[in-house]
Structure 1
Amino acid sequence: MGRVQFADYAKIYVTGGNGGPGSVHFRREKYVPRGGPDGGDGGDGGDVILRGNEQLNTLLDLRYRKYVNAKDGARGGPSKKKGKSGDDEILEAPLGCVIYDADTKERLGEITEHDQEIVVAEGGKGGLGNWHFRTSTNQTPRHAQDGKEGEERAIEIELKLIADVGLVGFPNAGKSTLLSAMSGAKPKIDSYPFTTLSPNLGVVTMPDYRTFVMADIPGIIEEAHDGRGLGIQFLRHIERNNVLLFMVSSQQDIEYEYEALLDEVRQYRADLLDKPRVLAITKMDLQENYELDEEKKVDLDIPVVEISSATNYHIDELKEVIWEKLQDIESTREDV
């Protein structure tokens, strides 16, 4: 089976249904030859609605739906009968979506829960039937209202992955290999940069039924905050991660690489560095006796774990360090 494609952006033109026109009608019965007006109101137009679906993890389906229109309301009927409202158009979207007006950039909302709904284009109200317009001087009004037009706009949808832990590193730092080692996920892995071109999620299972979700995100490059490489397409995904796991290869200048990663995140959104951090020094199996040279050792104010995903060296220790960080976050929330 082919690998499922990932999409984290979609632009859609959405239009609510038009309201149905009101009816011009007069009551006609056997013994009431000249009954009063009884034209009913038109039905309301349908809405275009975005609905959260926890089973989805990509915007791929929405990317191919360029124009979405809800149904129009029906004309009002006799005996003050309201016309049928137009059907809503429901768009299923993954959790973590943020919706914007494409022209004004107004933030319309975000989808964070299953079955949560956001109306992105309202249907027009149905027009009033002629019975509303009778007066003491005009007992037989021969006009009714047209329905209102539905709202029309272009929307942009961005998917920001919801995961407990986000992997942050330069290309070829070993992120995909670590995700595979920790969770059993099967991302594409090779020995060249930019193997990962879209995010992958994995569920890490620990003893005592403890689990957390980890996201392997495309490798960052310097000046990514200015849009270089995958740029902001990468950086926006770490916004919803609770813990940031920075990864630097033991083959590189560790302190320099770590500071460069910090700078890219800082330039994009400085407050993201308020999140708890852990540094994993990867590919320790390439070091003699799994020992770093003296000049490569670092002294930081965050947990540092030396690992090898290929041999599972210190992988369990890394899981426990991450778990402790997640528990600290949970305790802080409970105290608020």
Structure 2
Amino acid sequence: MHFRREKHVPKGGPDGGDGGRGGHIILRANAQLWTLLHLKYQKHIKADSGKGGEGGRRTGAEGEDVIIEVPLGTIARHAETNEVMAELTEDGQELILLPGGRGGLGNTHFKSATQQTPYHAQPGEPGQEAWIILELKLLADVGLVGFPNAGKSTLLSVMSAARPEIADYPFTTLVPNLGVVAYRDYKSFVMADIPGIIEGASQGKGLGLRFLRHIERNAVLLFLVPATSENIEADYQVLANELEAYNPELADKTRVLAVTKIDLVDDETLDRTKSNLPTNVPAVFISSVQQRGLTELKDLLWKTLTQTVDL
């Protein structure tokens, strides 16, 4: 609230300026970030308040915005309602997570023919407060799906420059790994090695719920079942059922089946295996150790990926 007072202008009338808005809390996607680790110890984030208006109809300064940079694939979820507030999938994409409160109006807005000296101004809006959960879902072209020790990490290590931990025991992979797979004519695609799924993973058994969410963001799902399995079709169905139990939308994902570790079985067993495959999914036989069938697998994945993009 302010009135113009100058020499020879004793009653200049109201000239109070508007208040500035508060600062926004903004999420920005950054392709150079891979984790949310930089936010682990930054629990409270607060933007500045706007400044008050001044005489002469001068508007107050806006509060400084706070920009939170996050990796691609980040989802912001309201902690109380579980509502998804933002989903960032493109580099440089920005979204106002919490807008700053609007600045109030100065008393110059309230003058009228009958009220020429308004002695009140509109207060600004208070800022919003909220607990927000930031969740990262990996973005990849091909996601590897299989039981522990199905050969996912070994396949990623021979098809890309990624070097995941590999050992002969279940749950060697405790964190998702990404690798870039080189293809013909300088083309490439991103493959994600996701920790193994067990029966009951959708109910939280094993490492299930921690990593099933990463599968949602892959364009193509590559199911890996070892040739040493007693029933490849049954194992494939268990994996598919766990994915669909976690999220029914995963049933619509494009799938490819790779029968791994063919170096551990003889030709007779391999022939029997070929007659015991799911009929609704393209399959290829590979050995990561002997690097057999990898070219055919790349060709099939690239063809599937390009068809998925065209759709």
Instruction: Specify the TM-score bucket, using the shorter chain as the normaliser.
Output: over 0.9
Where does residue 276 of structure 2 map in the other structure? 298
Alignment of 1:200 onto 2:167: no
- Give SS of 1:40's match: coil
The runs of 5 or more residues in structure 2 that have no matched partner are none
Q: 1:28 to 1:257 in 2, by over 3 A?
A: same
Distance 2:211 2:275 in 1: 28
**Quick one: which of 219, 222, 226 aligns to 2:196?**
219
Distance 1:236 1:279 in 2: 20
CA contact (8 A) 2:86 2:97 kept: no
CA contact (8 A) 2:161 2:179 kept: yes
Where does residue 299 of structure 2 map in the other structure? 320
Where does residue 69 of structure 1 map in the other structure? 46
- Give SS of 1:68's match: coil
User: What residue identity is the alignment partner of 2:81?
Assistant: T
- Give SS of 2:210's match: helix
Distance 1:64 1:285 in 2: 48
- Give SS of 2:131's match: strand
Distance 2:180 2:269 in 1: 30
Where does residue 173 of structure 1 map in the other structure? 150
State the percentage of identical aligned residues: 55
With 218-227 and 105-114 compared, the bigger mean Cα shift is at 105-114
- Give SS of 2:130's match: strand
Where does residue 309 of structure 2 map in the other structure? 330
**Quick one: which of 213, 216, 225 aligns to 1:239?**
216
**Quick one: which of 232, 242, 247 aligns to 1:264?**
242
Where does residue 281 of structure 1 map in the other structure? 259
Distance 2:30 2:166 in 1: 29
Where does residue 133 of structure 1 map in the other structure? 110
**Quick one: which of 264, 289, 295 aligns to 1:310?**
289
TM-score with structure 1 setting the length? 0.86
CA contact (8 A) 2:29 2:71 kept: yes
Where does residue 7 of structure 1 map in the other structure? none
Q: 1:91 to 1:81 in 2, by over 3 A?
A: same
CA contact (8 A) 1:284 1:291 kept: no
With 265-274 and 146-155 compared, the bigger mean Cα shift is at 265-274
Aligned residues: 309
User: What residue identity is the alignment partner of 1:73?
Assistant: G
Give 1:271 shift.
3.1
- CA-based RMSD: 1.9
Distance 2:212 2:268 in 1: 32
Distance 1:313 1:111 in 2: 38
